[in-house]
Amino acid sequence: MLVVMSQSAGQENIDNVIQTIKQAGLVPHCIPGSIRTAIGVTGNTGAIDTERFSTLPDVIQIIRVTAPYKLVSRETKPDNTLVKVGNTVFGDKQIQIIAGPCSVESREQMKKLSGRLQKAGVKILRGGVFKPRTSPYDFQGLGEKGLEILAEVRESTGMHFVTEVVDTEKLPLVARYADMLQIGARNMHHYSLLRAVGKTGKSILLKRGISATLEEFLMAAEYIMLEGNYNIVLCERGVRTFAQHTRFTLDISIIPTIKKLSHLPIIVDPSHPAGIRNKVIPLSLGAIGAGADGLIVEVHPDPEKALSDGSQSLYPKQFEQLMKKLHIIAPALDRNM
C-alpha cells in the first residue's frame, strides 16, 4: 500500500501518518519526492483496511499494491485449473461448446434439439428452468418439470447439463438434478448464493455481472473457492456500456486478462451480448480467436416460437455451421474441438 500526501503536507501530518501505520503493526517507508511525499506500507499479511489511512489529514490518495484476491490468483496457483463436467474438461487445449435453448419449454423441444446438438458434437446442454426476468409478466421457466426433462434427456443421450440456480431456496432442488450450476450475471454479487454453491462441490459456471469489474468478477469466484470448491468456469457475457447497437458489449479483452491473472478457465456467451442471432457467429469466432476456452450458445429448434430470447437463438442449422467453422479454426489456434 502507498499513502500519498498532499503537496502542501507539513512534517507534522506526515509524521502522523507514519505513526498511525506503526500503531497498526505495519512498517512505513517514507519516499520524499520533489513534489510530494509518499509513504510505502509493508508488513501486512492480509488486506489492509485502507480507510483507516485515507481520512488522515493531508492524505490525498491511497494506492493498493497487492490485489485483494488470493485463491483465484495465478500467483497462488500457477497451473491452469481443469474443471470437469462428466468427461468434458474445461481449461485444457480442447474448446468446449455448451448449447441449448434459453428456456426448457417442453419434452418435445428438448428431445428434438438434443439429438441434433449431440450429432453436432455437443456434450453439455444448457436450458433454463428458473428464469430471472426483468419483467414479472414474462415467462418464468418450467421449474422442477424442466429439471425432470433435462434429466430424462441426460439418461437417454448421455449429455450432461448446466442450468441456472437463481436463489438459495431452489439450490437443493437444482443441485439434485444438474451437473453444473450456473450463477447468472444478475447473481454474481449474490454472496450467500456464491457461498452456498461453493458448498455443493459441484462444477460452477460463473457469469460476469452486467457491470462487474475484473476485480469484482474474480472476487465472486473467490467467495466460491473459500468454501473449498475450485471447480469454477468463468463466463464473459457482455457488459453494459453506452453502445446500444448490441444488447450488451462483449468484452473479449477480459479473456487474456483473466488468463494472465487467474488459473481458472473462461468461456464466452455470445448470445446475450448479440441480442440478435446474426451476430452470434461473428462474436463466437471473435471470442475463440481471443483465447476463450469455450462457448455457451443459445440454440432453439424453432426460435420464432421461443418463450424467451428467441431473437438471439441460433437455428440448429446455423449452429451446425458454427461448429464446422470452429473445427476448422481450432487447430489454427493450436487448440482442438
Q: Which stretch binds a copy of itself (CB under 8 A): 25-33, 105-113, 150-158, 174-182?
A: 25-33
* CB 290 to a copy of itself: min, Å: 3
Q: Which of 18, 89, 120, 285 binds a copy of itself (CB under 8 A)?
A: 285
Interface of this chain with a copy of itself, residues 94 to 113, rule: CB under 8 A:
none
- Write the CB contacts of 315 (distance below 8 Å, at least 6 apart in sequence): 277, 299, 300, 303
- Write the CB contacts of 12 (distance below 8 Å, at least 6 apart in sequence): none
Q: Which of 31, 82, 145, 176 binds a copy of itself (CB under 8 A)?
A: 31
Residue 16 in the binding site for a copy of itself (CB under 8 A): no
Residue 207 in the binding site for a copy of itself (CB under 8 A): no
Q: Which stretch binds a copy of itself (CB under 8 A): 60-68, 86-94, 121-129, 146-154?
A: 60-68
Q: Which of 189, 318, 320, 321 binds a copy of itself (CB under 8 A)?
A: 189
CA distance 135 to 190: 20
Determine the size of the site formed for a copy of itself (CB under 8 A). Answer: 107
Interface of this chain with a copy of itself, residues 210 to 269, rule: CB under 8 A:
210-211, 213-216, 219, 222-223, 226, 239-246, 249-257, 260
Residue 276 in the binding site for a copy of itself (CB under 8 A): yes
What does residue 73 show for φ and ψ, rounded to 5 degrees?
-75, 140
Residue 137 in the binding site for a copy of itself (CB under 8 A): yes
Q: Which stretch binds a copy of itself (CB under 8 A): 79-87, 116-124, 153-161, 191-199?
A: 191-199
* CB 300 to a copy of itself: min, Å: 10
How many other CB atoms are found less than 10 A from the CB of residue 210? 15
- Nearer to a copy of itself (CB atom), residue 158 or residue 226: 226
Strands 96-100 and 124-126: parallel
Q: Which stretch binds a copy of itself (CB under 8 A): 54-62, 92-100, 110-118, 147-155?
A: 54-62
* CB 336 to a copy of itself: min, Å: 13
Residue 82 in the binding site for a copy of itself (CB under 8 A): no
Q: Which of 99, 110, 287, 295 binds a copy of itself (CB under 8 A)?
A: 287
Q: Which stretch binds a copy of itself (CB under 8 A): 50-58, 84-92, 119-127, 149-157?
A: 50-58
* CB 154 to a copy of itself: min, Å: 26
Q: Which stretch binds a copy of itself (CB under 8 A): 38-46, 91-99, 121-129, 153-161?
A: 38-46
Interface of this chain with a copy of itself, residues 297 to 336, rule: CB under 8 A:
303-311, 325, 328-329, 332-333
- Write the CB contacts of 305 (distance below 8 Å, at least 6 apart in sequence): none
